[in-house]
Structure 1
Amino acid sequence: MFKVAVVGASGLLGRAIAGELGQQASWQVVPTAFRRADSHMTVLDARDPQAVDAFIAREKPDALVIAAAERRPDICENDPALARALNVDAVRALASAASRHRTWVLSISTDYVFNGSRPPYRHDDPPTPLNAYGRSKLDGERALLETAERGCVLRLPLLYGPIVDWQESAVTSLVPAIAASVRGAAGATPAIMDAWAIRYPTFTPDVAVVIRQMLECHMHGETVNGIVQWSGDEPMTKYDIARHLAGALRLDAQFKPQHTPTDATPRPHNCHLDAGRLEALGIGRRTPFDEAILQVLTMFPWVG
């Protein structure tokens, strides 16, 4: 029996990972969460080193996947200590405990470790983060690689997938503004959408397949260590994403493109991640955006 612990299994990505791994007949999945743990999850505060050590010592997983993170750039900018507690210190505690029990560790990072000026970025390009979120995730990468006896960092871009509310992903968070801009609705005005920053929206079930394939490599003695990257391959601004969403929802929405950055927290222009290292191993799956977003909207239907 191959045993995998998933830390942060109640979040957008963690749910997809736990769901994919749970379909493997010969695998045992131990999902954990903190504030949003349900009856099928182990309650674990990843920021508590003693609790982390006790959890790893008790469960003795073959592999540990860290999906818990503070991923909101504005929150990280305003409270860097909060970001560091989850994105750096918790990763170090988990990696340290895993090393004591010879557990392979996979930690999730972000394309925001790059400044977005010279894409595409290889896994070994020098990181140059622009904001506190990117800096905290870069420090988390270093904490993992310095601490884990066997460990890997998986960098990912903008994620979307099955949601519990519109705000869970920066992709679906656009839906309320889209709905409010529909022509003919009372007081409707065009929704202003960023048309400057180029993103590569990536479907969480695809990422879960990538992680499952990486775990299969580990099972077969071909462990992937160091830094790897995965990304969707369709470049889109929020303006583009909004138009695709409106089409999927069959809404006659109005949009106004914003061609200059307006966010209070600096964000990179284009952090396209090169996924060549994983592709060379035969790892990967990419679902076209229009197909994937229909799956998301069908699971979480829009109510007008």
Structure 2
Amino acid sequence: MDSGEKKRILVVGGSGFLGQHLLHELDTACGKMPPYDVAFAHHRPVPPPELLGSLSLNSRTESDLRSGECFEVISEGEGVPHVIINCAAVSIPRACEVDPAAAMDINVPTSLIDWLSSFRDDSILLIHLSTDQVYEGLKSFYKEEDETAPVNMYGKSKVAAEKFISENCSNFVILRCSIIYGPQTISPVTKSLPIQWINSVLSCGKEVEFFHDEFRCPVYVKDVVSVISTLTKKWLSDGNQMKLVLNVGGPDRLSRAQMAEAVADYRGYDCSLIKPVSASSINRGVASPADISMDVSRLVRLLRINPISFKDGVRFTLENCSWPL
């Protein structure tokens, strides 16, 4: 890779929750070494004006992962990217169950990979966001080499994506993320954010049910951004072949009830409002794995990133909701 060439980064799904946090980080890095040209693709019909007003990015385009038409526009206008970060997905499990065809079409980035493959260029890195729901959920602290056996269409579409990427990309990193939480974005996303939702329902002073027997390793959004930023800098600095799968979760194995308790402790809410119930007592219209907590020791060892505790993440999320943190 030419060390003097200005590095180009493309974020697909840039108007989403993680995408906006990531764009802010990349935009902040512009002008530093190495210099970046950052473009992003978004699914919204009109790019969010609040987001555009906060960034100095030079390119954005509406995306359709089914057709892939936007990618040709990007390469013709900005050149071939050195790093592509794919944050786009149908990430609500029930929505995937209702429309499995759309889940497969969007979550398996066929058009993106076809476009990338057309360059026949080994100097491009794809960083792809996957999920902890690729695991079956029958034990604690899954490792990356454990079998993937998803119980719902969301997980199945993500496993299909991982397989497609590993078979068709020369260089890739697949990030199996747990629940990503953190402050609202500058252009608010419409989906419910976990900490904000818990805070909202507990603030009403009424009893609320939370699952006590589904376990995850929720991860603070800024830690996910740090993982992506570190991988990007590593690739742009040395360009060594990279074929990697990483679990990306926080250090704490928590049930939804324990997550709610952490919010209640920070806000001073009455913990008796939290009513623990079994996940099996409610039909959500989609199967959900019981325990997909993850071992993140590979992440810590390779990138030297130690995700913050859930307790600290709750404080950072609720204490300072301005943009940026």
Is the structural similarity TM-score above 0.5? yes
1:197 to 190, 196, 214: 214
Task: Give 1:45 shift.
Answer: 2.1
- Equivalent position SS for 2:250: coil
User: Which residue number corresponds to residue 81 of structure 1?
Assistant: 101
User: Which residue number corresponds to residue 56 of structure 2?
Assistant: none
Give the partner amino acid of 1:249. R
- Where structure 1 has 5 or more consecutive residues not aligned to the other structure, the ranges are 183-187
User: Which residue number corresponds to residue 94 of structure 1?
Assistant: 112
> Residues 123-162 of structure 1: CA distance to partner in whole angstroms, max 9, x if unpaired?
1222000001100111111122222232221111111012
1:279 and 2:300 matched = yes
Alpha-carbon distance between aligned partners in 1 of 2:201 and 2:173, rounded to the nearest angstrom:
38
Alpha-carbon distance between aligned partners in 2 of 1:285 and 1:43, rounded to the nearest angstrom:
35
List structure 1 runs of 4+ shifted beyond 3 angstroms: 165-168, 298-301
- Equivalent position SS for 1:22: helix
The more displaced of 44-53 and 120-129 is 44-53
User: Which residue number corresponds to residue 258 of structure 1?
Assistant: 277
Alpha-carbon distance between aligned partners in 2 of 1:277 and 1:255, rounded to the nearest angstrom:
34
CA 10–110 in structure 1, closer or farther in 2 if over 3 Å, else same: same
> Residues 156-194 of structure 1: CA distance to partner in whole angstroms, max 9, x if unpaired?
1111012236843234332332123x1xxxxx3x11111
Alpha-carbon distance between aligned partners in 1 of 2:229 and 2:76, rounded to the nearest angstrom:
23
- Check whether the contact 1:56–1:97 (CA below 8 A) recurs between aligned residues: no
Give the partner amino acid of 1:44. S
Give the partner amino acid of 1:196. D
1:56 to 75, 81, 84: 75
CA 206–58 in structure 1, closer or farther in 2 if over 3 Å, else same: same
TM-score (norm. length: structure 1): 0.88
User: Which residue number corresponds to residue 23 of structure 2?
Assistant: 18
- Check whether the contact 1:7–1:66 (CA below 8 A) recurs between aligned residues: yes
User: Which residue number corresponds to residue 38 of structure 1?
Assistant: 48
Alpha-carbon distance between aligned partners in 2 of 1:165 and 1:247, rounded to the nearest angstrom:
26
Alpha-carbon distance between aligned partners in 1 of 2:20 and 2:230, rounded to the nearest angstrom:
17
Alpha-carbon distance between aligned partners in 1 of 2:251 and 2:75, rounded to the nearest angstrom:
36
Alpha-carbon distance between aligned partners in 2 of 1:279 and 1:223, rounded to the nearest angstrom:
20
- Check whether the contact 1:4–1:28 (CA below 8 A) recurs between aligned residues: yes
2:316 to 282, 295, 298: 295
CA 105–282 in structure 1, closer or farther in 2 if over 3 Å, else same: closer
- Check whether the contact 1:9–1:31 (CA below 8 A) recurs between aligned residues: yes
- Equivalent position SS for 2:9: strand
Task: Give 1:38 shift.
Answer: 2.5
TM-score (norm. length: structure 2): 0.83
- Where structure 2 has 5 or more consecutive residues not aligned to the other structure, the ranges are 1-5, 53-59
- Check whether the contact 2:219–2:250 (CA below 8 A) recurs between aligned residues: yes
> Residues 28-74 of structure 1: CA distance to partner in whole angstroms, max 9, x if unpaired?
22122121622534322222223323323433111100001110011
- Check whether the contact 1:200–1:235 (CA below 8 A) recurs between aligned residues: yes
The more displaced of 165-174 and 133-142 is 165-174
Identity of aligned residues (%): 24
